[in-house]
Structure 1
């Protein structure tokens, strides 16, 4: 299928050929017939992409500070690699989609195949959307009209926050697409509406709809006009739908309001607010968030958990339905707003010069006869007769920033890369000359030419995919963790004992050059050691998936397992019991501020401090090992100091956490045979130790590992 994307690195807008996404649980797969180009929002994205590095930095000063801090702790090259990796990830454009349902995911009962629906899907021939971001289109509403659903909901949400009453005078600043729709909805609410815009054509359309449209460019003073029009009272409220960096708009909006008036911001403007403008009249100011309640809420949007209508009357989906109902009844007429209709293949007619475009609403038309294809061939390579041929499932940040660059250095044979949406895998396949991009990972498992599968998906998918891969008779590498609970782990153990395949987990720290140096200096004796390892992990917002115990497993199981494995590597032994204490007064299952104590079978002790409340300017990782009156101190995988060793070897290098060495050994083991790169019993022991840490926190005692 074809999809419009924006390259943030060079600013190019591209019509890309990508696999059709697979319909997911809780979602519907839609075959697109029309999409609406939101010129205001999409123009900003296109212009950001075309900006140079300095201009991009000026637009995001907070990100610049983060980059400078990362340079101090990680070094220049890893930081630049991370920045370029972010810019190399293209952005899908569009969020006003209409089409027919062609697939219904598990748990969806509201929709059936054949339903006409509107959604916030991208400019793509097929889109896969969660059910709460989709609404049915009434029979008497055309696809073109339905394409205005999401744009209308943005304006409607601003109106709901303003809460106008019949007869009030409301000013709409900016009569672009959202502004004109907002103004017409206000008329339907029984309001007197004044609209300001510098475009004569938009003002003309506004006047034809019964809005008092004014062009300030013709010499009209906006504040004085509103005062005159309201007989000196002032506007009851102002909705700002303009896009302008000037601070003048917010000042004028306050000045044209009556005492205790309301100002709602829907657009993007300068917000250097004068206290006096708002103080003297006690004017309220609020920013509207997109389509309505539920926006950016993982529980509502991705998991499909609706808000009770008795408590949240208007969610984003119910706003969609309200707009469609208004179009159906004729209280909202969007047809006069359509400036042009362009076939998808001619998309450049819209995106070629958006800066100077005078279009109000541009409709993209789609060919509805094309059949879905889940795999796209990127490069015509032969993998016949080779060993260590790789299929990658997952194309997130770890894959793009770490996995693929290292595999490229190793000239690895990669036949497939899979992503559920198909876009990110296609971009990475092109960048790294991978044979095929697919949205159906099962094609990797059924291809006899693939013998090694690398899994880098979200954590809750690891264990099920490891099981599927082993059952397909293929060796598997899974980025940590291996499993999220004992039940998943036991299923993996059972299958492992029945299959002649290798299982590896991404515990890369033990492969780092400095870790190997430390192990060599400690020697291969069985003498117990003391270890203090600190992970200054950094704060992650509570709503991020890694904190969800059902999806991410929490940061102890999902991330601290790295250091449990590293301690096991240094001790040369297995963990026999675990005790964990966390910051706070009440035991919690989920924490990312904790100290983990490990007892090893050979008498070694380890303390892992996993903290998220430290400064990002401080080193992220530090390890101290004490043994036989000797000490090793490793700082952030860049420096190593030895104390008390006769032939102590201090070392320093660029930051290297062992990924290259790990994948080099993994591919060599797959091609030539030999022992697993990490003994399976150590992988199991580490995984069980991470589970025991959580159980220790809940029970408040040491937990033994079977």
Structure 2
């Protein structure tokens, strides 16, 4: 199928061939009829991508600060590599469409195949969208009207936050697509509407019942004051896109005392306290289509907000717009600039910069490919050893794995949406991209499956891959629940020895620094202190969700448990963990005490409350009057290990060495990279650490 993409580095807008997505639980699969280009949002995105690197930095000063911190902690080369990887990725365009349901996911009861619906899916011939971001279109509402629903809901949510009453005067600043929709819905609400925009053609499109003015020609403050008998506007909704602070300042000046200002668009936000203080103004930023936006439970799990407590949600806003369209109250036809075939997308994106362009509709072909596999290369791998399929096309795959696997026998890459897999297949000359990972498991040429999906999928995919007779690499963690770990152990014990292997991405033990430490320390007793300055991750992130990410102790601290086991050469006998603040399963400010069977001891300090300018990882080992200090896998310093004193490299956490040894083992056989018992033991230690946190006691492994 075809999908529109934007390259943030080159500025290219392209129609790409990508695998069609599969329908997921709680979602519907939609064949798109029409989609609406959001002239403001997409114009801003295209302009940003076409800017040079310096201009991009000027537009995002907060990202520059993060880059400087990364250079200080990780070094210049890794930081530059990360920046270019971020900019070089394709992003999907679009978020307002209408189409027909062609498949229903598990758990969907109130929709059926054949229903015509709107959704917030991208500009693509087929989209998979969760239930709460889909609404059924009334039979007599044509596609050309229904396609406005999602963008009109953005306008509606801003109005709901303003809560205007009948007869109030509301100013809309910026008469682009969202601004014109906002003005029209306000008019339907019984408000007197004043539209401000310097573009004469945009003002001309506005309804005759909407008062418009050119701020370059007319003193807006004086105009509004005269119109309201000196009182000022009851409310201002800003739908303009500008980096200037003058728009927010103007909004304050034209408002009445105790008036409200709502920001839907993008503008400079250096507020003048005096402007707001003297009038006791209220200012609020509107978040997209309404309550539920960016809430995983609402958008992905389909958990609705109770109507008595949240009258209007994203989906209920969609329904409200569709009702306005159905009744004929909201007329969007005057806003349509052009209807353009999808294949002619370049003309559409050329025209969005035109002042004449307000709403451009893309029209989709009636017959589309729904294949879940797309071929990108004619490379032949038959008869070769070490043929590999990757499941997961996220950040780790993009920035770490694929650059190190160049020149290897990669045949497949899979991602749930197909889009990200297609992008990476195209860039790294991988023959096939797919949205169905079963294609990889069913391919007899595949020797090795590498799994880099979100954590909750690891255990099940490992089991399926092992049972399919494949060698398996899985990025940490192996499992996020004890039951998953037990099932993997049971299946492994029933497998015939030899034909398959299991490797977890505990890469740090393969670092040249780790190997040097092991060589210097040998089997001596030691005390190990590992400090991880992990950095803050917002509470709503998936990594903190016990059922998805497992929490950071299970999901990331396992790296350092494995490193400790490798350095000490011993199983861990018992663990005791304490955390700062709330002692919950997803704690990420914790200290883990470890006792080894051989008498060595250690502590892993995993902290998220440190400063990101400080090194992320520091390892100290004390043994027999000697000390080793490893600083961020860049510098290893020895005291008492004459003649060794220092090993200094670019940051090297062992990924390259692990991948190289893994492929060598898959091709030529040999011992597993990490013994299965150690892999399982590492996960058990992290589970025991969480148990210790609950019981306030040592837990034996």
Question: TM-score under structure 2 normalisation?
Answer: 0.98
2:412–2:430 Cα contact (<8 Å) kept: yes
1:462–1:482 Cα contact (<8 Å) kept: yes
Q: Please say which of residues 623-632 and 511-520 is displaced more in the overlay.
A: 623-632
**Are residues 1:12 and 2:12 paired?**
yes
Name the structure 1 match of 2:155: 155
**Are residues 1:509 and 2:504 paired?**
no
**Are residues 1:580 and 2:577 paired?**
yes
For residue 526 of structure 2, the aligned residue among 529, 538, 547 is 529
Alignment of 1:218-297 (within 5 A): 219-297=217-295
Give the superposition deviation at 1:131.
0.8
1:158–1:264 Cα contact (<8 Å) kept: yes
2:96–2:148 Cα contact (<8 Å) kept: yes
Distance in 2 of aligned mates of 1:558 and 1:270: 38
Secondary structure of the corresponding residue to residue 397 of structure 2: helix
Secondary structure of the corresponding residue to residue 632 of structure 1: strand
**Are residues 1:366 and 2:364 paired?**
yes
2:201–2:355 Cα contact (<8 Å) kept: no
Name the structure 2 match of 1:57: 57
Name the structure 2 match of 1:133: 133
Name the structure 1 match of 2:397: 399
Name the structure 2 match of 1:174: 174
Secondary structure of the corresponding residue to residue 94 of structure 1: coil
Name the structure 2 match of 1:91: 91
Distance in 1 of aligned mates of 2:203 and 2:591: 64
Alignment of 1:289-438 (within 5 A): 289-352=287-350, 354-408=352-406, 411-438=407-434
Name the structure 2 match of 1:546: 543
Give the superposition deviation at 1:163.
0.6
For residue 455 of structure 1, the aligned residue among 451, 457, 460 is 451
**Are residues 1:625 and 2:624 paired?**
no
Question: TM-score under structure 1 normalisation?
Answer: 0.97
Give the superposition deviation at 1:2.
0.7
For residue 464 of structure 1, the aligned residue among 457, 460, 465 is 460
Secondary structure of the corresponding residue to residue 655 of structure 1: coil
Distance in 2 of aligned mates of 1:189 and 1:138: 22
Give the superposition deviation at 1:519.
0.7
Distance in 2 of aligned mates of 1:702 and 1:631: 28
Give the superposition deviation at 1:647.
3.0
**Are residues 1:672 and 2:671 paired?**
no
1:207–1:213 Cα contact (<8 Å) kept: no
Secondary structure of the corresponding residue to residue 497 of structure 1: helix
Q: Please say which of residues 600-609 and 642-651 is displaced more in the overlay.
A: 642-651
Secondary structure of the corresponding residue to residue 70 of structure 1: helix
Alignment of 1:687-698 (within 5 A): 687-698=683-694
Structure 1 unaligned residues grouped into runs of 5+: none
Give the superposition deviation at 1:353.
5.3
Alignment of 1:597-612 (within 5 A): 597-612=593-608
Secondary structure of the corresponding residue to residue 405 of structure 2: helix
Give the superposition deviation at 1:324.
0.5
Distance in 2 of aligned mates of 1:371 and 1:269: 41
2:629–2:636 Cα contact (<8 Å) kept: yes
1:260–1:282 Cα contact (<8 Å) kept: yes
Distance in 1 of aligned mates of 2:594 and 2:448: 33
2:617–2:632 Cα contact (<8 Å) kept: yes
1:157–1:290 Cα contact (<8 Å) kept: yes
Offset from partner CA, 1:151-186 (integer Å, 9 cap, x none): 111111111111111111111111111111111111
Distance in 1 of aligned mates of 2:663 and 2:138: 56
Offset from partner CA, 1:319-371 (integer Å, 9 cap, x none): 00000100000110001110101000000001135433521110000012113
1:30–1:127 Cα contact (<8 Å) kept: yes
Name the structure 1 match of 2:554: 557
Offset from partner CA, 1:7-49 (integer Å, 9 cap, x none): 0011111111100011111111111000000111101100110
Structure 2 unaligned residues grouped into runs of 5+: none
Distance in 1 of aligned mates of 2:80 and 2:633: 17
Alignment of 1:470-489 (within 5 A): 470-489=466-485
Give the superposition deviation at 1:201.
2.3
Distance in 1 of aligned mates of 2:218 and 2:557: 64
Distance in 2 of aligned mates of 1:221 and 1:357: 23
**Are residues 1:109 and 2:109 paired?**
yes
Offset from partner CA, 1:269-311 (integer Å, 9 cap, x none): 2222222222222222211111111111111111111100000
2:36–2:147 Cα contact (<8 Å) kept: yes
Distance in 2 of aligned mates of 1:491 and 1:245: 55
Name the structure 2 match of 1:636: 632
Secondary structure of the corresponding residue to residue 305 of structure 1: coil
Distance in 2 of aligned mates of 1:286 and 1:13: 33
Q: Please say which of residues 288-297 and 502-511 is displaced more in the overlay.
A: 288-297
Distance in 1 of aligned mates of 2:276 and 2:529: 55
Cα gap change, 1:95 to 1:221, in 2 (>3 Å): same
For residue 644 of structure 2, the aligned residue among 623, 644, 648 is 648
Offset from partner CA, 1:362-385 (integer Å, 9 cap, x none): 000001211301000011111111
1:391–1:444 Cα contact (<8 Å) kept: yes
Secondary structure of the corresponding residue to residue 81 of structure 1: helix
Superposition RMSD in Å: 1.2
